[in-house]
């Protein structure tokens, strides 16, 4: 347990512990209120906040703001009195620590480096995360669930967002902080960090699994075909399915938002898929080209 106590009590990592507790608490609270509202709807009762009148801002709201500000201030003061901000040795460009970790809020991106090259994990995916977040209101055209907690009225939106936020962002940060040691190898919290540990992983590229050299012409075309088909089928199949089932859905959404939402969705799912390929099938690249690898 030695290293675990050491990692968990590192000054900066106390923030991660605070984050884990707050995320768990507020996730539970949001879903609790969502299920409660859904139950009220089912029974034909008013949901929370429905039929509300207005109250004065002075003082009911200002009073709450003051109390919250005081509580936060007392909490942060206590935190700062008990834990000192860390200061390590003087910066030394010739002495690389192992592991060298990015600030904790970027460790999800650093963790993605295990599965993707830097141009995807460090540039393309963060850009798409920002674009995707901004796009949410324009691609989620479901008018229900505006201004109250609910699950049943917008299941897919909530499931997809929570998967992205809780598992692909928060969980990867937690892994990056607590489970990655020297060489960015996986160390359980109770394991000592062994700086000389070498892990031989016989990774291969996807096409090599079926006996085709990924660097050959055939390998290039098959790898590119897999990536192209992934997006093409990911867009066409749901289109065919929903066109039949819910034609009005497409009329409301429009083609450009549909292509955007499916592209973003399958790009997001590409991360867990690549994780599976990498961890279970030992696949390094799906597509190898002279310019970039995916």
Partner 1 sequence: MKMFDNIKQSLIWKSMFRRDYKDTPRNRALAIFGNVFMHLHPVKVREGAVKLRYTWGMGGISLFSFIILTVTGFLLMFYYRPSVDQAYWDIKDLEFQVPYGIFLRSLHRWAGHFMVIVVWLHMFRVFMTGSYKSPRQFNWAIGVILLVLTMLLSFTGYLLPWDQLGLWAIEVGTNMAAGTPLLGFEGPFSEYLGITPYNDVRFAILGGSTVGGNALLRSYVWHCVALPLVAVVLMAVHFWRVRKDGGISGPHS
Q: Least Å distance between CB 85 and partner 1?
A: 4
CB nearer to partner 1: give 118 or 272.
118
Quote the CA–CA distance of 176 and 105 in Å, as a whole number.
10
Q: Least Å distance between CB 210 and partner 1?
A: 26
Q: Least Å distance between CB 207 and partner 1?
A: 20
CB nearer to partner 1: give 33 or 260.
33
CB nearer to partner 1: give 46 or 282.
46
Tokens encoding 272: 């867990």
Q: Least Å distance between CB 12 and partner 1?
A: 7
CB nearer to partner 1: give 144 or 246.
144
Q: Find out whether 135 and 256 touch, Cβ atoms under 8 Å.
A: no
Quote the CA–CA distance of 232 and 226 in Å, as a whole number.
10
User: CA of 182: how far to CAs of 15, 189, 197, 289, in Å?
Assistant: 22, 13, 8, 30
Residue with tokens 């995320």: 23
Q: Peptide bond preceding 263: is omega within 30 degrees of 0, i.e. cis? A: no
CB nearer to partner 1: give 122 or 189.
122
Q: Least Å distance between CB 114 and partner 1?
A: 14
Quote the CA–CA distance of 246 and 126 in Å, as a whole number.
33
């Amino acid at each position: 347990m030695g290293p675990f106590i050491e990692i968990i009590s590192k000054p900066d990592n106390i923030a991660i512990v605070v984050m884990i507790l707050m995320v768990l608490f507020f996730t539970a609270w949001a879903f609790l209120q969502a299920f409660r509202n859904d139950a009220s709807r089912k029974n034909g009762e008013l949901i929370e906040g429905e039929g509300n009148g207005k109250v004065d801002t002075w003082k009911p709201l200002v009073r709450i703001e003051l109390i919250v500000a005081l509580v936060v201030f007392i909490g942060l003061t206590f935190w700062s009195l008990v834990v000192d901000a860390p200061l390590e040795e003087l910066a030394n460009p010739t002495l690389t620590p192992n592991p060298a970790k990015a600030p904790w809020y970027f460790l999800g991106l650093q963790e993605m480096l295990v599965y993707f090259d830097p141009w995807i994990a460090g540039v393309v995916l963060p850009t798409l995360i920002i674009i995707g977040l901004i796009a949410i209101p324009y691609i989620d055209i479901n008018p229900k669930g505006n201004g109250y907690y609910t699950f049943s009225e917008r299941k897919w939106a909530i499931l997809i967002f929570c998967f992205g936020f809780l598992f692909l962002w928060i969980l990867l940060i937690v892994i990056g902080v607590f489970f990655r040691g020297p060489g960015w190898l996986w160390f359980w919290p109770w394991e000592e960090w062994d700086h000389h540990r070498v892990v031989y992983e016989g990774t291969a590229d996807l096409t090599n699994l079926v006996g085709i050299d990924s660097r050959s012409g055939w390998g290039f075309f098959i790898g590119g075909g897999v990536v192209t088909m992934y997006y093409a089928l990911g867009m066409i199949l749901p289109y065919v399915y929903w066109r039949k089932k819910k034609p009005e859905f497409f009329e409301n959404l429009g083609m450009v938002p549909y292509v955007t939402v499916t592209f973003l969705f399958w790009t997001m799912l590409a991360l867990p898929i690549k994780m599976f390929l990498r961890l279970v099938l030992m696949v390094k690249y799906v597509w190898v080209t002279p310019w970039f690898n995916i």
